[in-house]
Every structure is written in structure tokens, then in C-alpha cells.
Structure 1
């Protein structure tokens, strides 16, 4: 029995509406390894990464652990616009149906601000804007994603809904260009403002995710993909 691809879609800049002419098309998916293979001495790899096309796939249990931790990249697979899904199965649709079970206030706040801070740390080492055009493009990209993570995370923290497609990408592009031109303080101030903004919100999200709901889904996956051979 082979791995079963349960859900896959186009994520990243293309999904956000931030892709440029040189942007790669990133795909994310999750698969179920045959249950019997998880019980032996040598268990299968939990993640598979391929290039051309760029596809990252996580085994169902690892996917659940990452999503329960609030991982922004992983979580967006459950919230994509319908047209961005390339593989949808019954179990994949069930996962989408329980996506709110993965949410918790503290983990969402920590994960989104944490990933945004990682983008800022990259910006801090870019200098004063007097670098190559290639470095400037990467700097603008990091800045765009810093703002995007802050914006998405705050909306999710405030409403319980993760918005993937940005209604107007222009402010994010403009922000990236300003930071790439040397305005690192803009990125620093923006991150601080969003941190304060999170603190001012009374989130409707629970203190802890609903792991029982997630566990029941994962056990359905295991039963559906048990291989007796």
C-alpha cells in the first residue's frame, strides 16, 4: 500500500496575492502513510519535499502536531480558497471541517508574532539599502511577509477566521519596497504595534485547542489506511 495524498493545494505568495513574475508556485499537502508501516522498526519519513515543482507534504500525524502548535504555513492548507485545492479527498474535507479545533489564543499569538519576528531578524542583517538588486528583492519579500503574518495573525486572533487571500496587496508591496529602501525602523515599529494590538484584543479563541476532535480524525485516517499485507 502506498502513501495516500489526502489534501493538497497552492499556498504561499500565489495564494496571498503577492506573487510576482519571478515567484515560485509553492504547494503544500498532507498524506497518510499505511498504518502498518508506522508500527515497525523503521517508520517512514514524516515529511517529503520535492523541487520543480516545489511541493512539501507532511504525514497526517506530523501535520496535526504542527497545526496544533499554530504553525502559520501549515495551517493555511485548511483555509485556502476552493480554487487553490488540487487534491481533496473525503478525509481531507473532514479535516477542513474541523479546522477551528486546531486554534487556541496563545499558540496563534505566539506562532504568528514569532514567525514575523523571524522575518524581522533577517531584515536586521540587510544593511542600509545599498545592496544588490537581488538582495533588495529578498529584503522586500521578507518585509512583505512580516506584515502579512502580523495582519493574518491578528485577524485570526480577533475573529477565529484565517484569511488567506489579501483583499488589497498594494499596502504589503509598498511596505516591502520602503523597508528594502532602508527603512528598517518601519518594520521595527510595525512589529511593535502589532504586538501591542494583540495585547489589546479579547480573543474568542479558546485557551487550548480541541485535541480530542483532532485525535478522532487522525484515528479515522489510521483505520482507513491500515494495510494487513
Structure 2
């Protein structure tokens, strides 16, 4: 598969500083479909997902729509530490440059807390912890995600910045192990951050700046237009 990758890097547990021996390495990126392909009867595929290696690529327009909605997963891509980028183009750097304009208070709050609540539901639905070692391992992972989403989402909401690498990774692993044994131990953290969001004035605007994303996307389309293909 050959695509015009604009920005790509290592995300997930490796980026967070939570990986251990045997952890998968997850990659995320965005690409530009040839502009002439967008004019045909059938739209080109807007995501490519592979395993071995684990990689997800979103087409530029889809990535923008997800980011404008506050999606925590795609948002990581434009806040990675420099050493985790594997592809950086001029258009990718432009996107990093406008990352703050894609944010809005309500969408960040709803997305991050919503994802965290989903993780808690997965924990709660698994019962009292009397399940297999493999299931306990997955449950601990969901608990770590819940903690990370709460901390990162609140940081983004309160400061307008997103730290990808977590503070004190071992605390996340301890939390995961504890919650794997008793899912209800995660509930106080979720409630704490719900209250923290509600009692904190965000630095983010009420609405994202869609015009900035639109202008960037049009530059992408202009650079990837080849009339000879028509």
C-alpha cells in the first residue's frame, strides 16, 4: 500500500512511557488522498488499518473531523515528543502549528470523559475480578487508559496543552493492578475528574476554529492535485 503520508509517529503505551517487555508498538498517521480521486463516483478509502505492524492511517479530512470533535486518539499525533515522529512533512508541521486551534472546551471534556467512562464500563462489566490471567491483564490496561484519559483530558481542558508521556508510570501500573482486582476502585478517580472539569474554567474556546482546519486541508488538496490524472 502506497499513500502520501503527511505525518506519522509512535503512539500508545510506548509514547505514554507505559510499555513493558512484550508490549505492542502502535503507530498512527495521516495521509492525503490524491485530489483527483475525490472527484470520482466512489470516494477513496479514508482509513487504512494494519496489524504486524500495528498501524492506523487516516485520510487528512477524516483526521480533521475527528480532531475537531476532540477525539483523544487522533489528537495525540500532533502533540508527540519530537523523537516519536517517524514521518514529518511541511504540511504535517503546519498541522502541528495549528493544533491548538482545533480544540474546544466542551468537545475536549465530552470526548476525554466519555472515553474514560467507556473504560470504566468495560471494567465494571467484568465483575468481581475472578477471571483469567489474560482477562486481568486486559482489565489492568483499561484501568491505565482510564487514568491517562482523565489526567490528559483535564490538562488539555485546563491549560490548552497535552503531555503525552505520563508522570510516574509505575503509579499507572499499580492502579491497573488494583482495579483489575476490584473495578469499583476506579470510580472515585472518574468522579474526581468529573468534578474537576465542572469546577474549572477552561482556557479553550467554546468552539474549535474550523476555518484553520479548512484552510490547511485546502493546501493539502492543492499540493496533491495532478490534472494529468484526469
Aligned-residue RMSD, C-alpha: 0.8
CA distance in 1, matches of 2:64, 2:220: 12
Matched, 1:6 2:13: no
1:135 aligns with 2:132: no
Residue equivalent to 1:204 = 203
| Larger CA deviation: 184-193 vs 210-219 | 184-193
Partner of 1:222: 221
TM-score (norm 2): 0.97
Tell me what 2:155 maps to.
155
Post-superposition CA distance 1:96-130 (Å, at most 9, x none): 00000110000000000000011011001112111
State the secondary structure of the residue aligned to 1:164.
coil
Could you give the per-residue CA deviations for residues 137-187 of structure 1, whole angstroms, max 9, x where no partner exists?
Answer: 0010000100000000001101000110012112211110100122x2211
Partner of 1:16: 16
Q: What is aligned with 1:49? A: 49
4+ residue runs over 2 A deviation: none
Shift of 1:193: 0.9
Is the counterpart of residue 60 in structure 1 residue 53 in structure 2?
no
Where structure 1 has 5 or more consecutive residues not aligned to the other structure, the ranges are: none
Q: 2:185 corresponds to which residue?
A: 186
Aligned length in residues = 227
CA distance in 2 between counterparts of 1:125 and 1:206 reads 36
Query: What are the within-5 Å matches in structure 2 for residues 85-96 of structure 1?
Result: 85-96=85-96
1:40 Cα deviation from its structure 2 partner: 0.6
CA distance in 2: counterparts of 1:88 and 1:167, whole angstroms: 26
Give the secondary-structure state (helix, strand or coil) at the position aligned to 1:120. helix
Report SS of the residue matched to 1:202: coil
Which residue of structure 1 lines up, in the alignment, with residue 108 of structure 2? 108
Is 2:103 aligned against 1:97? no
Please tell me whether the aligned partners of residues 67 and 75 of structure 2 are also in contact (alpha carbons under 8 angstroms). Answer: yes
1:22 shift after superposition = 2.4
Residue segments in structure 2 that go unaligned for 5+ positions in a row: none
Deviation of the 1:3 alpha carbon? 3.0
Counterparts of 1:42 and 1:202 in 2: how far apart (Å)?
A: 45
2:116–2:150: 8 Å Cα contact kept in structure 1? yes
How does the TM-score come out when normalised to structure 1? 0.97
